[in-house]
Amino acid sequence: MSTDAPAEPKSEIGEINKYNFRTETTGVFKAKKGINREIVNQISDIKGEPDWMREFRLRSLEIFESKPMPKWGGAIDIDFQDIYYYLKPTDHQGKTWDDVPQEIKDTFDKLGIPEAEKKFLAGVKAQFESEVVYGSLEEDLAKKGVIFTDTDTAVREHPELLREYFGKIIPPEDNKFAALNSAVWSGGSFIYIPKGVSIDFPLQAYFRINAESMGQFERTLILVDEGANVHYVEGCTAPMYSTESLHSAVVEVVVKRNARCRYTTIQNWANNIYNLVTKRAYAYGDATMEWVDGNLGSKLTMKYPAVHMKEPGARGEILSIAFSSAGQHQDAGAKLVHEAPNTTGQIISKSISKNGGRSSYRGLVAVHPGAHNSKNNVVCDALILDPESRSDTYPYIEISEQDVQIGHEASVSRIGEEQMFYLLSRGLSEQEASTMIVNGFIEPLVKELPMEYAIEMNRLIQLQMEGSVG
Amino acid sequence: MTHVLKIEDLHVSVGDKPILRGVNLTINHGETHALMGPNGSGKSTLGLAIMGHPGYEVTSGSITLDGKDVLEMGPDERARAGIFMAFQRPMAIPGVKMADFLRHATTNVRRPDRKEGEELIPMREFRKELREKMEHLRMDSEFARRYVNDGFSGGEMKRAEILQLAMLQPKFAVLDETDSGLDADAVRLASESIADIGHQKMGLLIITHHDKLLEHNPPEFTHVMLGGRLVETGGKELAVELHQHGYDRIRKAYPDAEALNQKLLAEDAEEALA
Ligand SMILES: Nc1ncnc2c1ncn2[C@@H]1O[C@H](COP(=O)(O)OP(=O)(O)O)[C@@H](O)[C@H]1O
Ligand SMILES: [Mg+2]
């Protein structure tokens, strides 16, 4: 076994980077390609699930089959019968990295996860194909009652807590891909932060697809109890293959009174992955939910993290960065639903399109009747780097209340010749100059990230910018 | 060997509008040249053509640095070869911190052969130097964390240009009205700083309408531009004369150039209305 198998073919945008490598693994079980009742039952059997979950899966499969493809967003050309829905890479989950099969451990070493864990993380989950292969949580947090486990384990070990919320924030009926995930889900994080517990360092999950034609369908549920505080971060990568693959997650978050949750995603999927994800949070009285959503990879991303402000004083904030290059379409955005009075929402979206890439902002702001004195502000800025690239804005606004403050600003810009000349005249190359302008463009969002992720984000932007200034 | 920047019979157009009509100028390293002339005569155009602005097309003539063809080089290569211009109107780069920008610029100019992606000057070393230079220019240390020219006052922009001059230490620098838009104290500070950083240490081409800057940086040569040509060259006393008496004598002495200058100004006024 080797982790150095070269990942040919290289993508057109020169993604010769540290994410693009394949690991030779055997895995302990791989379901046949395609989706049907038999496969869904098989997944449920292998996991030894209770009946309610098996029924939930089978009902979701029917919903999936009956739902049409989404009519918005990008072109989805997926043969659902040509995908592997379940691949179990190893028999057990490691509590230390030494418990993880060598070639998988090597993979995460290359991605820098154990190193980051030592330096600044309070807990880590590492998912490889369909299962979480490594999990850790600082001991004192566990003692305080914090739960950070994979969702399969939570079905067994925390059934009441899980069942109260699982599929309640995002039911399978929500959309075709939420139904698909509900039918074949595997892995993902389950987090419970008890009342008043505040975690200073982030909890991180890393999702790696390694095999060709592999679908990944993790399912995450985060419960932040009253007055608690957590920052959860997820990273996602995959090597480049010639065939397309699918990542379709469901993420449900509940933020109770006075609590705070920040959920940061840095998505750098290979450019042949459809990334179709449903993310939604409920925020209760005076709670704050923040989505920080960075989309740099994938062929097509359709993702609109949502916050429903259920009780007075709730806050929802969504910061979104999208970068699309050749062959990529980022249809990213946000949804804020004001369901109670005195709620505050903010969306800041920055998109960059280059080399024929396409970025769209698709957003919904809804104010329900009775949600008086609510405030909402949306700012979306697009930067287009060349005439082949494209940017669109689709803002939807549904206001059923008089007494509200709503703001919307949008701008589209190109890198100006004068800005470029100024930087060149100081000795920067064209590529350094345009990278610097792009990094400056997203700086207002990146400065919100913890330093390690800010550095990672700037580095990813640089990778996207490399080798393609014409 | 003394470095030489040599401009011969330079013709420059913007769009298809000829602006410079045969400029000859040789600057030796260590010399200070004053470039004077009424508005619209082509002073900034000469600087921008030396720096390689893509909107300023050299239609004939040459610019060489130590015999090497500067016109072959892009603006970034010119910067790395040791040419600098402090702009009359510097550009804002939102979101990019002065310190990051300057670290890239300084690294590239000091290590002209650096390949993209190679290490920058070590952070610690760079910060120390930047801090020293900023203190010397009496700039607040907070300045390094601000975004390049973004929301700067006119005076702050000019001082930021001087800071870049200090960091990049070019062989030749064009200073385009680096003293305008400043109050009297700031003009004195800028004049002293430039004298300190560049006078007799670089080849300077100073474009100015005021006398303070030249008092601190006495020029060996003064050139007068009119209608896209250098119509007269003298010593320091020519600058003094023009400061005291203005351009009437020049306009009368060179009626053809004056006519061209007026024509360009008239066209500007027309474009402004259109
Ligand atoms: N970017 C430009 N576009 C159009 N005309 C220009 C441009 N730059 C300079 N010019 C014209 O060239 C002439 C000289 O301008 P400039 O070099 O700025 O003069 P000075 O610096 O001596 O005041 C003016 O008529 C001006 O309008
Ligand atoms: Mg000028």
Q: How far is the CA of B225 from the centre of ligand 1 (A)?
A: 13
Which pLDDT band holds residue A241 (cuts at 50, 70, 90)?
confident
For residue range A399-424, what is the model confidence (pLDDT) as tens digits?
999 999 999 999 999 988 999 999 99
Say yes or no: CB of residue B269 within 6 Å of ligand 1: no
Tell me, what DSSP letter sits at residue B62?
E
- Structure-token pair, residue A431: 């590529």
Q: What is the pLDDT of residue A16?
A: 42
Task: Round the average pLDDT of chain A to a whole number and report it.
Answer: 91
Question: What is residue A333's three-state secondary structure?
Answer: strand
Give the model confidence (pLDDT) of B44-71 as tens digits. 999 999 999 999 999 999 999 999 999 9
Centroid of ligand 1 to alpha carbon of B39 (angstroms): 9
Per-residue pLDDT of chain B (274 residues; tens, 9 = 90+): 699 999 999 999 999 899 999 999 999 999 999 999 999 999 999 999 999 999 999 999 999 999 999 999 999 999 999 999 999 999 999 999 999 999 999 999 999 888 877 889 999 999 999 999 999 999 999 999 999 999 999 889 999 999 999 999 999 999 999 998 888 989 999 999 999 998 889 999 999 988 899 999 999 999 999 999 999 999 999 999 999 999 999 999 999 999 999 999 998 888 888 7
Taking an 8 Å cut-off on Cβ atoms, the answer to whether A440 and B94 are in contact is yes
DSSP per-residue codes, B89-145: SPPP-TT-BHHHHHHHHHHHHHSTTPPTTSPPSPHHHHHHHHHHHHHHTT--GGGGG
Return the closest-CA partner of residue B158 out of B131, B135, B186, B132. B186
CB contact under 8 A, B96 and A418: no
What amino acid occupies position B51?
M
Q: Identify the pLDDT of residue A467.
A: 52
B112 CB neighbours in chain A (<8 A) are 427
Determine the Cα angle at A291 with ends A290 and A292, to 5°.
115
Is A335 a domain residue?
yes
Give yes or no for A464 touching B (CB within 8 A): no
Q: Has residue A223 got a pLDDT over 90?
A: yes
* Residue A15 pLDDT > 80: no
Would A194 be classed as within a structural domain? yes
In a domain, A436, yes or no: no
Determine, for residues B55 and A439 on separate chains, whether the beta-carbon distance falls below 8 Å: no
Q: What value does the mean pLDDT take over residues A382-394? A: 94
Q: Is A49 on the interface with B (CB under 8 A)?
A: no
With cut-offs at 50, 70 and 90, classify the pLDDT of residue A17: low
pLDDT of residue A305: 98
User: A443 and B96 in contact by Cβ < 8 A?
Assistant: yes
Residue whose CB lies within 8 A of the most ligand 1 atoms, among B14, B35, B176, for a mutation test: B14
pLDDT, one tens digit per residue, over A365-381 is 999 999 999 999 999 99
Mutation pick from A348, A420, A428 vs chain B, by most beta carbons of B within 10 Å, is A428
Residue in A with minimal Cα distance to B97: A440
Domain presence at residue A227: yes
Cβ-nearest to B101 among A418, A431, A436: A436
Between A453 and A331, residue with greater pLDDT: A331
Helix (H) or strand (E) holding A254: strand A250-255
Q: Does B88 touch chain A (CB under 8 A)?
A: no
Residues of B in contact with A411 (CB under 8 A): none
Determine the distance separating the centroid of ligand 1 and the alpha carbon of B202, expressed in angstroms: 26
Q: What pLDDT is attached to residue A8? A: 38
Q: What pLDDT does residue A450 have?
A: 86
pLDDT at residue A6 is higher than 70: no
Between B55, B112, B164, which is nearest A426 by CB?
Answer: B164
Kindly provide the b/e burial profile for residues A248-280, where b requires at least 16 CB atoms within 10 angstroms of the residue's own CB.
bbbbbbbbbbbbbbbbbbbbbbbbbbbbbbbbb
pLDDT reported for residue A2: 38
Of A421, A439, A466, the CB nearest to B96: A439
Mean pLDDT, residues A158-182: 97
Burial of B158-192, coded b for 16+ CB within 10 Å and e otherwise, reads bbbbbbbbbbbbbbbbbbbbbbbbbeeebbbbbbb
pTM: 0.86
**Ligand nearest to C-alpha B35:** 1
Q: Is B91 an 8 Å CB contact of chain A? A: yes
pLDDT at residue A50 in the model: 97
Q: For residue A454, is it within any domain?
A: no
Closest CA to A84 of A174, A210, A238: A210
Q: How far apart are the CA of B49 and the centre of ligand 1, in A?
A: 12
> Please, what is the end-to-end C-alpha distance for chain A in angstroms?
40
Task: Work out the minimum CA distance from B183 to partner chain A, whole angstroms.
Answer: 25
Atom of ligand 1 nearest to the CA of B265: 25
- Residue B264 C-alpha to ligand 2 middle, in angstroms? 14
In a domain, A1, yes or no: no
Ligand 1 contact via B40 beta carbon (within 6 Å): yes
CA angle A123, A125, A128 (to 5 degrees): 160
For residue A13, is pLDDT > 60? no
Nearest-CA neighbor of A71 among A331, A361, A447, A441?
A: A331
Of the listed ranges A162-171, A241-250, B74-83, B157-166, the one predicted with least confidence? A241-250
Q: Across the interface, do A440 and B104 touch by the CB < 8 Å criterion?
A: no
A444 within some domain = no
B49 contacts in A (CB within 8 Å)?
Answer: none
Please indicate, yes or no, if residue A432 is contained in any of the structural domains.
no
- Ligand 1 and B45: CB distance under 6 A: yes
**CB distance A268 to A321 below 8 Å:** no
Residue B154 carries which side chain, given as an amino acid letter?
A: G
Residue of B nearest to A459 (CA): B117
pLDDT at A79 over 70: yes
Burial class, A58, CB count within 10 angstroms (exposed 0-12 / middle 13-18 / buried 19+):
middle
Q: Cβ(B122) to ligand 1 under 6 A?
A: no
Q: Within its chain, how far is the Cα of A376 from the centroid?
A: 24
- Chain A residues within an 8 Å CB radius of B74: 424
| C-alpha distance from A31 to closest chain B C-alpha (Å) | 43
Query: Which tens digits make up the pLDDT trace of A336-363?
Result: 999 999 999 999 999 999 999 999 999 9
CATH topology classification for B4-273: Rossmann fold (3.40.50)
pLDDT at A163 over 70: yes
- Range of weakest confidence among A12-16, A280-284, B265-269: A12-16
Q: How confident is the model at residue A112 (pLDDT cuts 50, 70, 90)?
A: confident
Section A232-256 average pLDDT: 92
3-state secondary structure at position B230: strand
How many whole angstroms from B268 Cα to the centroid of ligand 1? 8
Query: Which residues constitute the domain of residue A147?
Result: 22-424
ipTM (interface pTM): 0.97
Q: Which amino acid is at B237?
A: E
